[in-house]
Structure 1
Amino acid sequence: MPRASDDHDGLRRCRDCSEWKALDQFCVSSERPDGRGSYCKGCFNERSKASYARRVRAKFDRDVREGRVVPEGHKFCPACGTVKLLEAFPRNRAEASGYATYCKPCHNTKTRDTKERLYGGNREYHLRRRYGIGEKEFQELLAEQGGVCAICGGEDPQHLDHDHRTGWVRGILCFNCNGGLGQFRDSPMRLARAITYLRGTTWQRALIHPGVYQMCSPTRGRPPSRRF
C-alpha cells in the first residue's frame, strides 16, 4: 500500500519518477479506493515494456526489437523497407493506426500471392468467396448448358447467376441477361408485366401460314412526331 505522504491535495507522487502529478495522470487500478494506481502512465508503460521484454527473453532467448521511429504522418512498410506517407497505405479499421501494415503496391502483391498460393488464382478466389464453387464446377455447369447463355443462348457467357436471398447458384448468363435480371430485381411478376408491355407496344411478327408471317401493329402507344 502507498504511504500517506504519496497523496496531497488531489496530487499523487509516482513511485518511480517521484514527481507529483494529478490523479488522472495515473493508471486505473481497481485496488485503490480512488481507482488510480501508484505509477504515472509514463512510468507504468515503461514497466510494462520491461516486463514484456523479460518474458520474451526468458521464453524465446531473444531481445524485443525496438520500435521504428518515423516522422508524423508517415508509416514504415516492412515489405519494401521504406517509410512512406500514410496515404500510400490502404485503410484498415482493424489496425490501431487505421492503415494496413504494407503500402499499397506491397499489399496488392501479397494479396495476389496469397490468392495464387491458396486458390490458384484470383478467379478461383472470387468464385469460392462469392458463390461457393470453383472454376471446375463453373465449367461443368456451363457444359450442362451447352456452352451458351442459359437465357438468350449467346456464346461464351461468363457471369454466374445466383439467388441473392439464398445464395443458390442458378446458371451462367451473358452480361446483358445477367444485368437484365438484376434490373428487374429477379421478380417474375415484373418480368411478366414487361412481356405484356412489349407485346402491346411493339410491332409483332405473327405466323399466319407455314413459313408466312405478318407484321402486326402495336395495340397501344403513339407514332413518332413528324420531323421538320
Structure 2
Amino acid sequence: MRLCVDCDKPARPRVGQRGPHPKRCQECHDRYHADRLATVKQRVRTSPPMPRSCCICGTEVPPSRSKRAATCSPECQKTRILRYSRSYYKANPDAWRLSHVARRYGLSAEEYARLVDTAGDRCAICREPQQGKSLAVDHHHDTGVVRGLLCQNCNIMIGMARENPEILRQGAEYLISTAERYTRENPIC
C-alpha cells in the first residue's frame, strides 16, 4: 500500500477509482484540490482581461462586447460579414448559386439540376443556348410557383409585361403587323 505524500497515512484508492494508486489520502486530496481551486479563482478575479483588437479596423474591442466578438462595433461586424460573403462567393460561385436558389425559390439542388437538364442550357422562350451563363429561375410572383429557366432578356421581357399574356400577345401582333409596313426602305419618318 502506498503512503500519502503529504501526511504519510495510507493512501487508499477511492470508491470507483481506476488506474494507479493515489498519491494522497482522502483528506489531503480534498485539501489539495480546494487550495488549487481557490488559487485559480483568485487568479481569474485579479487578472485584467487581455486586450483584443478589432480584426477590421485594429482598434481595441471594448469589454462590453461579447467575449467571442472579433470586431469593435456593429459597423465593423457588417464589414467583416460582407468581406467573408464576397470571398465565399468568388471561391464557390456554384455553391452560392444553389444556396440562393434554395433560399429564394425553395428548390433543392436536385430539383434545380433537373430543371437545368430539362432546359438543356437553353432559354425556355427563345431557345438560345446559354453556355457559361446561368439561366434565371422564372416564377409566378403571386403564387411563387417555379415555371422554368429563362435567359436574362426573356426574363426581363416577362417582367416588363407584368406577367400578363395579353400584353405579350398584343406586342407580338404589333410586331407582325408593322414588320411588313415599316422597313428600312419605307421608314416612318
> TM (normalized to structure 1)?
0.44
Q: What is the match of residue 138 of structure 1?
A: 112
C-alpha deviation, 1:188, in angstroms: 0.7
C-alpha deviation, 1:224, in angstroms: 3.2
Check the 8 A contact 1:77/1:102 in 2, yes or no: no
Q: What is the match of residue 102 of structure 1?
A: 77
Q: What is the match of residue 124 of structure 2?
A: 150
Check the 8 A contact 1:77/1:101 in 2, yes or no: no
C-alpha deviation, 1:130, in angstroms: 1.0
Give the paired residue count: 127
Residue 183 (structure 2) pairs with residue 183 (structure 1): no
5 Å-filtered alignment, 1:37-186, equals: 78-80=54-56, 82-83=58-59, 99-100=74-75, 102=77, 104=79, 106-111=80-85, 121-156=95-130, 158-186=135-163
Distance 1:148 1:173, change over 3 A: same
Which consecutive unaligned segments of at least 5 residues does structure 1 have?
1-60, 69-75, 85-96, 204-216
Check the 8 A contact 1:162/1:169 in 2, yes or no: yes
C-alpha deviation, 1:126, in angstroms: 1.2
Q: What is the match of residue 4 of structure 2?
A: none
- How large is the Cα RMSD of the aligned pairs? 3.9
* Residues 29-58 of structure 1: CA deviation (Å, up to 9, x unaligned): xxxxxxxxxxxxxxxxxxxxxxxxxxxxxx
Distance 1:82 1:161, change over 3 A: same
Check the 8 A contact 1:131/1:169 in 2, yes or no: yes
Residue 174 (structure 2) pairs with residue 197 (structure 1): yes
* Residues 58-95 of structure 1: CA deviation (Å, up to 9, x unaligned): xxx879x87x8xxxxxxx974447139xxxxxxxxxxx
Determine the C-alpha separation between the residues in 2 that align with 1:62 and 1:133. 53
Letter in 1 for 2:188: P
C-alpha deviation, 1:101, in angstroms: 5.2
Determine the C-alpha separation between the residues in 2 that align with 1:167 and 1:77. 46
Determine the C-alpha separation between the residues in 2 that align with 1:199 and 1:126. 39
The structure that is helix-richer by fraction is 2
Letter in 2 for 1:151: I
Letter in 2 for 1:166: T
The structure that is strand-richer by fraction is 1
SS at match of 1:129: helix
Determine the C-alpha separation between the residues in 2 that align with 1:62 and 1:81. 30
